[in-house]
Chains A and B, each alone.
Chain A
Amino acid sequence: MPDQANIRVASDTIVETANSLPSIDWKQATPDVLLERIAEAEVVGMGGAGFPTAKKISLTQQHPPNFVIANGIETDPGVNADKVLLERHLNDVLTGLRIVAKILSAIQSFVAISHERTVQVAQGLLNDNETVRYLKPTFQNGAERELIQMLTGHVVQNDSFPAFDGYLVLNVHTLYAVAEAIEGKPLTKRLVTVNDETRWIDIGTPVGEILGSSDPIRVGCYATGHRPEVNEVLTAEVNAISIDKSVHALPCIHCGWCDLACPRDIPVESLYLIAGQLEPNLAAQDALNRCNDCGACVVACPSNIHLLDYLRELRHRNDIERERISRATQARLRVDAREQRKRSEAISSDTKRSERMRQQHKWQ
């Protein structure tokens, strides 16, 4: 057994504000300066991916012409962090959008919002090459590829990425963080919906302490969030802390509502039953690949079964199984190659020997 370091990490309870950076006049600054600042302020995708925003922008920059889309479609059930942000800081979000559009010298910018009142306010604030659209908060509209198709008509192929086609989709909260970063404030806090109430919470707060009660929680909204890991802290992409209803789940009654709710026609109920067998099932991989973790099935389930947990679990087991199979195949190939080599060596040594014999006979 290796020696285990017995380290206990405890907070010193001292709260310090991050070093503020000098403010930049973004209308005068060059794209490189702006991009560097966004990287320096550690702005990441706050819609769920957590991908560094500066990297995403520079990836898109390499594939002009560029279009920028602000994603204000809030599909997570019971979450209104984006709604609150747009109500309070719509101007900052639009500034963030213009900064990103300036970096990319984008042809057109789109704002997609799922709150009708904010759309009306936004319409009065737009420039020439900016469009605001109201879209229903359905699971399809919130997804990156589907949103691009809805707004521009462009279809991002399955083997491509939006950035490679020149499209940049950023969450509205990310754009707000971009505007703040240019003003000199690094990303240190975000709006989080905690059990129906939305408030600013510092990134890095232990998730167990946010709710302030001992109820079981999910990090993220109830439908798509995960159970907290030990000592998990709040990260920038988490938009909610919710109470976990699935601990009181009732048995599945095979109503099939999860199948009806799924926007991608995945046979959720069958996969749930397969997942219950606690074995990998590679035949189900096609259906699992289609799932984009939207959580519609979880919302539909009358028995509060967290179907997404089961699907993720099955996907995880399948990953392990595929890894095992590929290793076994590689080992098999190595063994075969070795046998082949041995056989050919044996043959060549046989022919060498018979050649030698013949030579000897010749001499006799």
Chain B
Amino acid sequence: MAVTDRPKFQTTGIMVHVVIALLPGLGVSAWFLGPKVFLVVLVSIFAAVTTEAIGTRSVQILRDGSAVVTGMLIGLCIPSSVAFWVPIVASASAITLGKLVFGGLGKNLFNPAMVGYALVLIAFPMQLVYLDGLTGATALDVLKHQETESLSQLINHPAFGLVGAKHFEWMNLAFLVGGLYLVLLRIVPWLLPLSVLLGIAVPTLVFYPLGDATYSFGSPWFHLFAGGTMLTAFFIATDPVTSPSAKLPQIIYGFFVGSVAFFIRCFGTWADGFAFAILLANAFLPLLEPKKMPRP
């Protein structure tokens, strides 16, 4: 019986579709960075699921599948060169500090995956640098540390690819494809990822010509296809629990995430700024949607 024009999904079904949408990105990552990516992701998922089961003393709670998605996102954020315990620490703290202390799924203020990732990013910064022997430093590191290079020099740097960062542009493309799959299924509201992408592209446009003379902050295309842009825009910023559901708050939220990430990338300490941009935006969420405030 056609009652609403919206396809019917169950919460568990949503999580299954998110995992399916992440698979192309995971495959491309493994293609460029080596099969160890799979290992990191599996360890992350395992740690997240185990922590949730122990923390809630319940296996029933796992059926919503959110722990699997959290673990998978952490595994995709963390470079595959890390020591085996880093994803375990990240996932365990994501589930405990990011979710369980607030009262479980649906009650958390911050995106659990980003809580765990930010924690290991601050605690073990040297572990989190991409050192694959494949790329050396990533394009975002080059951008930050070799500021004096002119635009043409920058583009010819070996860490750069066709439009974005070498290898990372293909991973971003894969995440874009997966993200569009979720948008087409209407699991993800289209406005949210679009505002995140615009949020990073618009400040880039402002700073791009400015940097052309002496040094560059990178083109819009570069920023859209470098680091974790697409993964964040389609999979992390769209977490229903920690993102707004009304149209205008979605635009503000997405734009905030994108632009803060850009400024951290170009002027901050960290190579990629999405983790902190998301956490900052999460903290502002009750201001954006005051009616959703009553969360314990």
Pick out which of these stretches binds chain A: B193-201, B239-247, B253-261: B239-247
Whether the Cβ atoms of A74 and B10 lie closer than 8 Å is no
> Which A residues are in CB contact (< 8 Å) with B13?
302
Does B268 have its Cβ within 8 Å of any Cβ on chain A?
Answer: no
Residues in A209-258 with C-beta less than 8 Å from chain B: 250-257
Q: How far is the CA of A257 from the CA of B246 in the complex (A)?
A: 10
Pick out which of these stretches binds chain A: B27-35, B103-111, B146-154, B162-170: B103-111
Cβ proximity bits A269-292 to B, threshold 8 Å, 1 near / 0 not: 110011011000000000000000
> Which B residues are in CB contact (< 8 Å) with A304?
10-11
Which residue in A137, A139, A260, A302 is a CB contact (below 8 Å) of B11? A302
Does A259 have its Cβ within 8 Å of any Cβ on chain B?
Answer: yes
> Given A74-B1, A270-B292, A277-B294, are A250 and B64 neighbors across the interface (CB < 8 Å)?
yes
- Closest B residue, CB atoms, query A136: B2
Q: How far is the CA of A76 from the CA of B3 in the complex (A)?
A: 8
> Given A254-B241, A254-B245, are A269 and B292 neighbors across the interface (CB < 8 Å)?
yes
Whether the Cβ atoms of A257 and B6 lie closer than 8 Å is yes
* Chain B CB within 10 Å, residue with most, of A136, A255, A304: A255
> Which B residues are in CB contact (< 8 Å) with A138?
3-4
Whether the Cβ atoms of A254 and B106 lie closer than 8 Å is yes
Whether the Cβ atoms of A267 and B291 lie closer than 8 Å is yes
Does A44 have its Cβ within 8 Å of any Cβ on chain B?
Answer: no
Minimum CB–CB distance for A298 against chain B, Å: 10
Main secondary structure on chain B at its contact with chain A? loop
> Which B residues are in CB contact (< 8 Å) with A254?
106, 240-241, 245, 292
Whether the Cβ atoms of A259 and B245 lie closer than 8 Å is yes
Which residue in A77, A250, A270 is a CB contact (below 8 Å) of B105? A250
Cβ proximity bits B1-42 to A, threshold 8 Å, 1 near / 0 not: 111101011111110000000000000000000000000000
Q: How far is the CA of A127 from the CA of B194 in the complex (A)?
A: 56
> Which A residues are in CB contact (< 8 Å) with B240?
253-256
> Which A residues are in CB contact (< 8 Å) with B295?
273
- Closest A residue, CB atoms, query B188: A255
Minimum CB–CB distance for A117 against chain B, Å: 15
Which residue in B1, B4, B241 is a CB contact (below 8 Å) of A79? B1
Whether the Cβ atoms of B245 and A256 lie closer than 8 Å is yes
Does A303 have its Cβ within 8 Å of any Cβ on chain B?
Answer: yes
Minimum CB–CB distance for A268 against chain B, Å: 11
Q: Offer 15 A-B interface pairs, CB within 8 angstroms, sorted by A.
A: A138-B3, A250-B63, A250-B64, A250-B105, A251-B104, A254-B240, A254-B241, A254-B245, A256-B245, A256-B246, A269-B245, A274-B294, A296-B4, A302-B9, A302-B11
**4 nearest CB pairs, A to B:** A256-B245, A251-B106, A255-B240, A270-B291
**CB within 8 Å of A: which residues of B?**
1-4, 6, 8-14, 63-64, 66, 104-107, 240-241, 245-246, 291-292, 294-295
